[in-house]
Chain A
Amino acid sequence: MSPKEIAAHYQAKVFDSPAAAESAGFALTETFAPRNVWNKASAAQSLLLKLRDRKENGEAKEIGLVIEPWSVTGCYVPI
């Protein structure tokens, strides 16, 4: 699955840039700079699983993913 499909699976919003996520009220978490599409998908899933846990623990209202050509960043709306 592509990062976008993974984001859809975990009901996460997708942003094109960190600035767009921050302007929408999301706080940024980790950033990965993968070297190929497989690593990019893996990085996206890794970020989203951590964000999902955060959401289930009541720390996040909404989760999201910033997908840029050479990097993936997690983001969430804190409660």
Chain B
Amino acid sequence: MAEEGKPTEPGSQPDTSSEQRAQDQARAAKPSSLSADAEKDLQVEAAKARVTAVKEAAQAAPGAPKAPVKKKEEGPKPVDASGHPLVKKLRDQFDAAVIEASEFLGQLSIRIEPSRIVEVCQSLRDDEDTPFNYLSDLTCAHYPDERQTPFEVVYNLYSIPANERVRLKASVNGEGLDSVTGVWPAADWPEREVYDLFGVKFRNHPDLRRILLPPDWDGHPLRKDYPLEFVENRWTEEHLPEFTDVQKEQLEQRRAYGLEILSASPEREVRELFQSGKEVMPKDK
């Protein structure tokens, strides 16, 4: 690099051809940044050549050993938990109300007859050995292929004194099941959420109405027959008015001046967000 600025001496390199000499002269005439780029290009070319050579050598070798394919190990599976002390106790007390019990990774799940869910919950809460005094979560899952009982309401219970957890499941249809707000008052909002997003009704709930969506919203978004994509419905037509051409132009002008943050209502921002440009989506297999 340091020699590049110096003029070439023809006598010092007797074996160089006239072309090489011309190249050297040209390189010497260029600014140092350009010659650095040229050197980088040469290095890149050399690296590419090395990679090509390695690839060709690998292909030429007939019996080149391949990396062994590690067989994927099967993960743990749920096992029957009929012998669990808590399940035995519940079976003694409620007999047919306990449909099945399984254990997966140390987590106990018990399927309960939905008509007796309140009794079972009451008993678990008042149990002397493991009082499940904390309703950790109440949620739901939708299985549309289960025609008779497509919804599974899930109660995650925790016993603070005994540091134990249990999961209760109740399979129901759209008619729903009894509310457990009488057992754990904390079930109030989770039951409203399940009602809002899945449409499962909870009988005897003190205030069963939507909690996240507007009261006049159509449908229940976490059902499998409700598409993820934003779809216009009666509520959006009523509450999120479309822009006219003049309004769109005004919006563009406001954006150009950086005033959009001050001028756009949150509802319109949401609509813009929903209707924003398409993301990259590969073709289906």
Contacts and interface: CB of A to CB of B under 8 A. Distances in A.
Given A32-B229, A32-B231, A39-B229, A46 B281 contact: no
B278 interface: yes
A46 B224 contact: yes
Given A35-B279, A70-B278, A4 B284 contact: yes
Interface string B257-285: 00000000000000000000011011111
B67 interface: no
Nearest to B277: A35
Interface in A26-59: 32-40, 42-43, 45-47, 49-50
A67 B283 CA distance: 10
A36 B281 CA distance: 5
B225 A38 contact: no
A7 B227 CA distance: 15
B144 interface: yes
Contact of B284 (A32, A35, A67): A67
A23 to B, nearest CB: 21
A49 B229 contact: no
A38 B224 contact: no
A34 B144 contact: no
Contacts, number: 50
Contact of A37 (B225, B226, B282): B282
Interface string B222-237: 0011111101000000
Nearest to B283: A69
B42 to A, nearest CB: 43
A3 interface: yes
A70 B279 CA distance: 10
Contacts of B225: 45-46, 49-50
A3 B284 CA distance: 8
B284 A2 contact: yes
A32 B227 CA distance: 9
Contacts of B279: 35-36
Nearest to A37: B281
B281 A49 contact: no
Contacts of B144: 49
B281 A70 contact: yes
A38 B227 CA distance: 10
Contacts of A42: 227-229
Contact of A43 (B229, B278, B282): B229
B285 A4 contact: yes
A9 to B, nearest CB: 9
A35 B230 CA distance: 10
A69 B283 CA distance: 6
Contacts of B224: 45-46, 49
Contacts of A47: 227
A46 B284 contact: no
Interface of B: 144, 224-229, 231, 278-279, 281-285
3 cross-chain pairs, A with B, having the tightest CB-CB distances, nearest first: A42-B228, A49-B225, A46-B227
Given A39-B228, A40-B281, A46-B224, 12 more contacts: A3-B284, A34-B281, A35-B278, A35-B279, A37-B281, A37-B282, A39-B229, A43-B227, A46-B225, A46-B226, A46-B227, A50-B225
7 contacts: A35-B229, A39-B227, A39-B229, A42-B229, A43-B228, A67-B284, A69-B281
